Amino acid sequence: METKIKELESRVKGEIILPQHKNYDEARSIYNAMIDKRPSIIVKCKDREDVVAAVNFARENGLEVSIKSGGHNGAGLALVNDGLVIDLSEMKAIEINADNKTAKIQPGRTLAEVDKATHEYGLALPSGIIGTTGVAGLTLGGGMGYLSRKGGLTIDNLLEAEVVLATGETVTASASDNPDLFWALRGGGGNFGVVVSFTFNLIPIKNIYGGPMFWPVEKAEDAMKFYDTMLKNASDDLYGFFAFLIVPPGDPFPEHLHMKRVCGVVWCYTGPMEKAEEVFRPIREFGPPILDFVGEMPMPALNGLFDGLYPSGMQWYWRAHYINELTDGCIQENIKHGSNTPSVRSTMHLYPIDGKVHEVSREDTAWANRGARWAQVIVGVSPEPTDADKITKWCKDYYEGMKPHAAGGGAYVNFMMEEGQERIKAGYKGNYERLTKVKKQYDPDNFFHINQNIVPAR
């Protein structure tokens, strides 16, 4: 193997990192510190040719392969024990075409970097809520965040992808080139190949009116009902995700609220700024809120608001559902667990996925949950490794309790741990079978299987 690795080294421009190297531990560390995997080779690709060389090397030598972009996947699917990691974090080219309102982005970019680049042109890509997340993994799973109601999922804004297949061949996927692959990439995750370039549509957004608003947790029942009705009747310009949390003991939160259990909504209004106060008047009248940090700010400021609270290297355990309705039972179950979060950063978010997301039909992309109103994520988070069992148990109990109130048996693949084939199938609903056929066409040997795996049709 040593000679073969030397040969690979002579073929790629990027660094090859092996277990005996000084920077091995750094290179194998990802966002979730609960994950401790030991790959045998990490290839830090510089360009598409490096990716082709890494894919060919792994295939020819029978090595399992994982794909790492932002390294944020909760289940740690960016890494593989004893296999080869195709690390794309150094592929960071980004080109904005302001006239066409498009962006061509390599997979090593994070959401904060994309935000900063597009914001200069008064444009934005609908994506996620934490800036350090990788644009690549987020997109391939679907991509939801503050602009979902206004601009759809991230995949609804994907125009083209360049993909290195298991054979080492590079193909383009778009509405006109390899349309089946393009369909599957939009929600099917890293199952079909390594995406080395994404071209997105951007939407005109510069400043928004938003931020967090909290109420005492004792008001959660009324707050959830108010939030539900408010959003149901609002235009797609108004977005807000509901949360349960403990107020962190530090800036910018006022001292009298530190460590208090609260519920809240993080709002994002993208309509005319002169109308914002009017839109928020009834919201401010409810409660009233015990914290109101809602105001006008640049889009990237909202997108990065919680980055400091969630640095890399903490313990994370995830569970997720889709929710159609906030029935009384659903609200009570949420309050039961949400008002007992086990640590300061542990939380539950309800991300709205209606509005523009519902304008695309279930058959149009692999992402199948176009009828649900929320993607729910339950996350146990702590900087302390000794809290791992506690946060995991809380998360699993919450998830189990929510089962009778959830839509179907599946969840958003980007919010799942390794939960088995039935959960993956359930998440893709009626689209799973078509996905297995596309998988058979583009990756018949299931070379790319370190992911929420779609098994090729027989």
Interface ranges with ligand FAD (CB under 6 A) = 31, 66-74, 77-78, 88, 107, 128-130, 133-134, 136-138, 140-145, 189-190, 194-195, 310, 414, 451
Shorter beta-carbon distance to ligand FAD: residue 107 or 456: 107
Are 412 and 142 in contact, with CB atoms under 8 Å apart? yes
Name the packing angle between helices 2-11 and 48-60 (round to 10°). Answer: 160
DSSP character string of 282-345 = HHHHSS--SEE--EEEEHHHHHTTTTTTS-SSBEEEEEEEEES---HHHHHHHHHHHTT-SSTT
Shorter beta-carbon distance to ligand FAD: residue 45 or 335: 45
Whether a cis peptide bond, with omega within 30° of 0, leads into 252 is yes
Shorter beta-carbon distance to ligand FAD: residue 39 or 70: 70
Q: What is the rounded CA–CA span in Å between residue 404 and residue 432?
A: 23
Are 68 and 86 in contact, with CB atoms under 8 Å apart? yes
**In the bound complex, what is the minimum distance in angstroms from residue 131's beta carbon to ligand FAD?**
9
**In the bound complex, what is the minimum distance in angstroms from residue 140's beta carbon to ligand FAD?**
5
Shorter beta-carbon distance to ligand FAD: residue 142 or 355: 142
**Distance, CA of 356 to chain centre:** 18
**In the bound complex, what is the minimum distance in angstroms from residue 89's beta carbon to ligand FAD?**
8
Q: Which of 32, 172, 68, 36 is nearest to 451 (CA)?
A: 68
Q: Which residue has the tokens 């559902």?
A: 321
Q: What is the rounded CA–CA span in Å between residue 111 and residue 128?
A: 7
Q: Strand 84-87 relative to strand 65-68: parallel, antiparallel, unpaired?
A: parallel
**In the bound complex, what is the minimum distance in angstroms from residue 350's beta carbon to ligand FAD?**
12
**In the bound complex, what is the minimum distance in angstroms from residue 214's beta carbon to ligand FAD?**
20
**In the bound complex, what is the minimum distance in angstroms from residue 299's beta carbon to ligand FAD?**
14
DSSP state of 348: E
Shorter beta-carbon distance to ligand FAD: residue 45 or 276: 45
Q: What is the rounded CA–CA span in Å between residue 73 and residue 85?
A: 14
**In the bound complex, what is the minimum distance in angstroms from residue 333's beta carbon to ligand FAD?**
23
Exposure of 278 by Cβ count < 10 A (0-12 exposed, 13-18 middle, 19+ buried)? Answer: exposed
**In the bound complex, what is the minimum distance in angstroms from residue 363's beta carbon to ligand FAD?**
21
* Amino acid identity, position 220: A
**In the bound complex, what is the minimum distance in angstroms from residue 88's beta carbon to ligand FAD?**
5
Q: 3-state class of 385 per DSSP?
A: helix
